[in-house]
Amino acid sequence: MELAPDGILIHDGEQIVVANAAAVRLAGADHRDQLIGRPIDAFFHPPYLRAVQEQLVRSGDQAGLVPPVRDVLCRLDGSEIEVEVTAIPFVDRGRASAHLVVRDITERLAAQAAARQAEEFLQQAQKMEAVGALAGGVAHEVNNMMSVVLGFGEFLLQDPALPEGRLPDVRQIMKAADRAAVVTRELLAFSRRAFHKPGVLDLNAVVCDLGPMIRRLLGEGRQLTFALGSPCRVWVDKGQLEQVVVNLALNARHAMPSGGTLTITTAEAALEGGVSGYAGVSIPGVHYGLIAVRDTGVGMDAATQARVFEPFFTTKPASEGTGLGLAAVYGIMEQNKGYIVVASAPGRGTTFRLYLPLSPDATVSERMEEPPPSAAGTPAGATLLVVEDEPAVRAVVVRSLEGGGFHVLQASDGAMALQVVDR
């Protein structure tokens, strides 16, 4: 008994009469005399002791094993540890007694909790991936339809034959289509299907350039401060990075209804291994460009944090948001091979830490500022080939170009485009 790894106690119904070395350690005692003679209820909760007593009463002298139960052992220093207790009641010289085997299950429970958390993280990651795939497919189709609505709406506005009384109706159609287009862009960002053109960026320059816009977004009663570190160059898409910072600023505004301070910090961060991002994603221990966006708002509980990047999840009234702003942040960070860490608590504000890949190139890229290719520099009357698989979208593009004086050829796919060129 003395060499047993589990604690063993024997009590005579009133006090402890035997304790082995493991029991002494579990109780936080220096020697067994600190346990012998003490009442058993000084160490275990009354409900468990009553269960032992009831088993003894039911079974009499032939009392059997009381199945293992999870309980709390109250140690001498006032701390508590989780234990599993197995009891064998017996009668000794007419006294109801019991033989207790006490096993420390702290490590086992910690391992089980870690396994549950890992499973929850996996389920969350799988859910985000599945929702992203669905959202991306839907957003792509809706985006095409909205392009058609906006295109033909613009044709109506340019039509001199349109009755003046119908202009407000067309403008309302355009306004609604614009709002729908914003939603689809957020969905495309979440699903990592948005247009993506990374380049070398100065982190401080991007943040500072956004300052005036963010101050206007925050409105009265909310302050914006910067804590900029040494110049740091990252490899990301400029437009997407700006969208991330603006979306986080909008989220902070809603989190500070009574006013507060939004602080944006930049730095080059060296992470140790083992740091976890959202949904338990392991962040490699290397150097990153860091943007930290911290507000002094209402904060979030753990349940809200677990869902904060889910599309359409929002704690705001329906009239104040779609629940896509933070979902877009998540998708953009994924697309740019970055990581997010969220720290928050009710009443203590929220901090979003964005870890962005550093650029191997020390020169800030000017390619990000280059305008995309367009027909603007093409002489009128030139022949252009439009390749688009969606007929309605193709019709809008062709009509727009023809209205600009171009001769337009069209094809629905690459193979047909080659045939058109050959002709």
Alpha helices, DSSP H, located in 375-413? 391-403
Query: CA nearest 249: which of 209, 289, 222, 286?
Result: 222
Q: Say whether both 357 and 375 belong to one domain.
A: no
Q: Are residues 169 and 207 in contact, defined by beta-carbon separation less than 8 angstroms? A: no
Res 378: pLDDT = 64
Q: What is the mean pLDDT of residues 390-406?
A: 87
With bands split at pLDDT 50, 70 and 90, how would you rate the model's confidence at 299?
A: very high
Among residues 159, 190, 221, the one where a domain terminates is 190
Q: Say whether both 269 and 204 belong to one domain.
A: yes
**CB atoms inside a 10 Å sphere around CB 7:** 24
With bands split at pLDDT 50, 70 and 90, how would you rate the model's confidence at 15?
A: confident
Q: Say whether both 260 and 211 belong to one domain.
A: yes
pLDDT in tens, 353-367: 999 999 886 444 444
Structure tokens that stand for 366 in this block: 């000017």
Statement: residue 54 has pLDDT above 70: no
Domain of residue 388, residue span: 371-422
Q: Say whether both 15 and 144 belong to one domain.
A: no
Q: Mapping DSSP to helix (H, G, I), strand (E, B) and coil, where does residue 8 land?
A: strand
Q: Say whether both 48 and 171 belong to one domain.
A: no
- Non-local CB neighbours of 374 within 8 Å, separated by 6+ positions: none
Within-domain flag for 406:
yes
**Residue 49's CATH number:** 3.30.450.20
Within-domain flag for 91:
yes
pLDDT in tens, 59-113: 444 456 677 878 888 898 989 888 988 888 777 777 777 788 889 998 888 888 8
Within-domain flag for 402:
yes
Q: Per mean pLDDT, which of 30-39, 230-239, 257-266, 363-372 is the most reliable?
A: 257-266
Mean pLDDT of the chain: 81
Within-domain flag for 277:
yes
Query: CA nearest 395: which of 139, 149, 138, 140?
Result: 149
Give the count of domains, the chain: 4
159 vs 280, more confident:
159
Among residues 66, 83, 104, the one where a domain terminates is 104
Q: Are residues 330 and 340 in contact, defined by beta-carbon separation less than 8 angstroms? A: yes
Within-domain flag for 329:
yes
pTM: 0.55
Q: Which residue has the tokens 């992203």?
A: 132
Within-domain flag for 250:
yes
Within-domain flag for 1:
no
Q: Say whether both 123 and 69 belong to one domain.
A: no
Task: Sort residue 40 into left (φ over 0), alpha (ψ -120 to 50) or beta.
Answer: alpha
Q: Say whether both 186 and 247 belong to one domain.
A: no
Q: Per mean pLDDT, which of 275-279, 359-363, 383-387 is the most reliable?
A: 383-387
Within-domain flag for 2:
no
Residues 194, 197, 202, 205: is their CA dihedral positive or negative?
negative
Q: What percent of the chain has pLDDT over 70?
A: 79
Q: Say whether both 205 and 240 belong to one domain.
A: yes
Q: Say whether both 345 and 358 belong to one domain.
A: yes
- Non-local CB neighbours of 375 within 8 Å, separated by 6+ positions: 384, 401, 404, 406
Q: What is the mean pLDDT of residues 361-374?
A: 50
Among residues 367, 382, 400, the one where a domain terminates is 367
Q: Which residue has the tokens 């490590």?
A: 107
Q: Say whether both 358 and 344 belong to one domain.
A: yes
**Residue 345's CATH number:** 3.30.565.10
Q: Say whether both 205 and 298 belong to one domain.
A: yes
Q: Are residues 26 and 81 in contact, defined by beta-carbon separation less than 8 angstroms? A: yes
CA separation for the pair 157, 172 (Å, rounded): 12
**CB atoms inside a 10 Å sphere around CB 307:** 15
Structure tokens that stand for 63 in this block: 């009392």
Q: Say whether both 273 and 358 belong to one domain.
A: yes
10 vs 117, more confident:
10
- Non-local CB neighbours of 114 within 8 Å, separated by 6+ positions: none
CA distances from 260 to 148, 257, 300, 345 (A): 43, 8, 16, 16
Task: Sort residue 160 into left (φ over 0), alpha (ψ -120 to 50) or beta.
Answer: alpha
Statement: residue 118 has pLDDT above 60: yes
